[in-house]
């Protein structure tokens, strides 16, 4: 979705804010660099700005609801509001119901030049960012405030934040954008991200060399679908990893959200690469321990083989951190399916598991799935049960129940 303004804009003061994942943080940082390069002044408060630039997230209802709430608040300022990120691409009808100003999806980021035609430096000439733009205090409070309860382990959250975000000095390399078909049934982010667009092997290598020279030791490989890297340019993820790991510098790589399909497809190559000791951590999102549910999600991989791969990795590469994601309450999920998930988690040595409650997706049209939605109360009960199960079995887990963050065991 992209709405062009009737009048071209070129303003001096810019307020920037974003929500959501590290990918949106990188997008926001690049916009920040774009405005700075063109002589704009970045202000700290929206009421100080001529332009209010809001980059949204909408991968789940919780984030989309916040985007709606925040847009309503930002509209009250005198500055011109521009909405970007995922929301304009994933749910344009809802956005249009509350906002008819300038908006564009992240797939159309380059169109920002059309909004600021007098800028001398085009957005396309601004390099991809290596450090996510910080989230606003308001957004962080929105995430944390409802959870300030005795069960909420605030100390451990702060400890984890400091360890991962500050002391480790992360450097991000965005190896690609967009996703390749077939898409997961529940996912709508690809509608905002577009088709797969991989960064060249040479460019990724150049960014790694630059990071190592600057003293960074923890390099995070980021993409909407990292496993699909290179299939659009005649490369593969293992070739990229081989190229990066050949660097003799003192660094480790993190791989975010590696779809199990690619994990199994490149099994032989990845095990060899994991054996180099250069991979510090990886997330393999299995999403469910029920093969029936995984298939219904359009994620076709044998769960038994994925579990075997994780066990092999932990036995042979014990220092490699392996996490996973689980969706609770996907349509047609029975109690037996849920128990299958818990059993798989108990028998598979993941270092951590992040539970997500399924939220309705307006793009799902399968009648079988629409007719077998799981109630909110049932999902909430299963979430609480899963967290309790993890605590009992000493599994690091985190999840959301009734919009409140609960811990199985502190990470």
CATH number of the domain enclosing 284: 3.80.30.20
Give yes or no: residues 162 and 285 share one domain.
Answer: yes
Do both 302 and 264 map to the same domain? yes
Does 37 share its domain with 180?
no
156, part of any domain: yes
Please tell me the predicted confidence (pLDDT) of residue 142: 60
Q: Are residues 260 and 308 in the same domain?
A: yes
Residue 379 and residue 301 share a domain: yes
Contact between 111 and 2 under an 8 Å Cβ cutoff? The reply is yes
Residue 71 lies in a domain: yes
Same domain, 173 and 97: no
Same domain, 121 and 150: no
- How many structural domains is the chain composed of? 2
| Residue that terminates a domain, selected from 125, 150, 170 | 125
Query: Do residues 342 and 312 lie in contact, with contact meaning Cβ atoms separated by under 8 Å?
Result: no
In terms of domains, do 68 and 184 share one? Answer: no
Whether 306 is covered by a domain: the verdict is yes
Which pLDDT score is estimated for 33?
95
pLDDT tens-digit readout, 211-248? 999 999 999 999 999 999 999 999 999 999 999 999 99
Q: Which residues are bridge partners to 283 per DSSP?
A: 323
Query: Domain ends where: 91, 125, 159?
Result: 125
Residue 351 belongs to some domain of the structure? yes
What average pLDDT does the segment 42-54 reach?
Answer: 95
Residue 111, domain extent = 2-125
CB 122, CB 33: distance < 8 Å: no
Same domain, 234 and 382: yes
DSSP lists the bridge partners of residue 174 as 222
Q: Give the model's pLDDT for residue 401.
A: 60
State the pLDDT confidence band at 390, using cuts at 50, 70 and 90. Answer: very high
pLDDT attached to residue 1: 47
Q: Are residues 104 and 225 in the same domain?
A: no
Strands annotated E in 39-97: 41-42, 51-56, 80-85
Residue that wins the pLDDT comparison between 194 and 81: 81
pLDDT in tens, 258-302: 999 999 999 999 999 999 999 999 999 999 999 999 999 999 999
Residue whose token pair is 């959870």:
147
pLDDT of 356-379, one tens digit each? 888 777 777 777 887 888 988 899
Read off the tokens for 216: 């960074």
Residue 12 within any structural domain of the chain: yes
Residue 228 in any domain: the answer is yes
pTM for this predicted structure: 0.84
Does pLDDT of 155 surpass 70? no
Q: Which pLDDT value is given to residue 141?
A: 59
CATH of the domain at 64: 3.40.50.2300
Q: Which of 78, 98, 125 is the last residue of a domain?
A: 125
Average pLDDT, the chain: 87
- Backbone CA torsion sign across 47, 49, 51, 57: negative
* Segments of 35-124 assigned E as strands: 41-42, 51-56, 80-85, 102-104
Specify if 329 maps to a domain.
yes
Q: Is 131 inside any structural domain?
A: no
Assess whether 144 and 94 both reside in one domain: no
Both 377 and 278 in one domain: the answer is yes
């Amino acid at each position: 979705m992209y709405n062009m303004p009737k009048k071209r804009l070129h303003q001096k003061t810019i307020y920037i804010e974003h929500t959501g994942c590290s990918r949106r943080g990188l997008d926001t940082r690049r916009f920040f660099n774009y405005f700075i390069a063109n002589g704009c002044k970045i202000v700290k408060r929206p009421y100080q700005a001529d332009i209010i630039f809001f980059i949204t997230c909408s991968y789940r209802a919780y984030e989309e609801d916040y985007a709606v709430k925040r847009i309503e608040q930002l509209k009250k300022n005198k500055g011109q509001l521009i909405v970007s990120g995922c929301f304009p691409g994933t749910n344009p009808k809802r956005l249009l119901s509350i906002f008819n100003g300038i908006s564009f999806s992240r797939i159309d980021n380059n169109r920002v030049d059309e909004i600021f035609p007098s800028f001398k430096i085009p957005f396309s000439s601004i390099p991809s960012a290596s450090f996510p733009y910080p989230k606003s205090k308001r957004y962080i409070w929105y995430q944390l405030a409802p959870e300030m309860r005795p069960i909420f382990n605030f100390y451990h959250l702060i400890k984890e934040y400091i360890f991962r975000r500050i002391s480790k000095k992360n450097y991000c390399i965005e190896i690609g954008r967009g996703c390749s078909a077939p898409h997961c049934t529940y996912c709508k982010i690809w509608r905002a991200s577009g088709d797969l667009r991989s960064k060249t092997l040479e460019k990724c290598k150049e960014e790694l060399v630059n990071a190592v020279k600057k003293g960074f030791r923890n390099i995070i490989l980021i993409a909407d679908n990292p496993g699909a890297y290179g299939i659009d340019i005649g490369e593969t993820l293992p070739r990229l990893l081989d190229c990066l790991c050949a660097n003799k510098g003192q660094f480790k790589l993190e791989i975010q959200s590696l779809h199990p399909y690619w994990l199994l497809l490149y099994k032989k190559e990845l095990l060899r690469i994991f054996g180099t000791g250069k991979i510090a951590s990886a997330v393999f999102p299995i999403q469910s321990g029920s093969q029936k549910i995984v298939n219904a999600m359009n994620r076709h991989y044998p769960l038994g083989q994925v579990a075997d791969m994780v066990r092999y990795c932990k036995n042979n590469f014990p220092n490699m951190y392996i996490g996973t994601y689980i969706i609770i309450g996907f349509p047609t999920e029975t109690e037996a399916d849920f128990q299958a998930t818990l059993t798989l988690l108990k028998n598979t040595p993941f270092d951590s598991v992040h539970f997500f409650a399924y939220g309705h997706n307006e793009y799902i049209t399968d009648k079988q799935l629409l007719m077998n939605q799981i109630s909110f109360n049932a999902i909430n009960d299963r979430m609480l049960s899963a967290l309790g199960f993890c605590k009992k079995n000493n599994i690091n887990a985190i999840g959301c129940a009734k919009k409140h963050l609960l811990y199985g065991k502190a990470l």
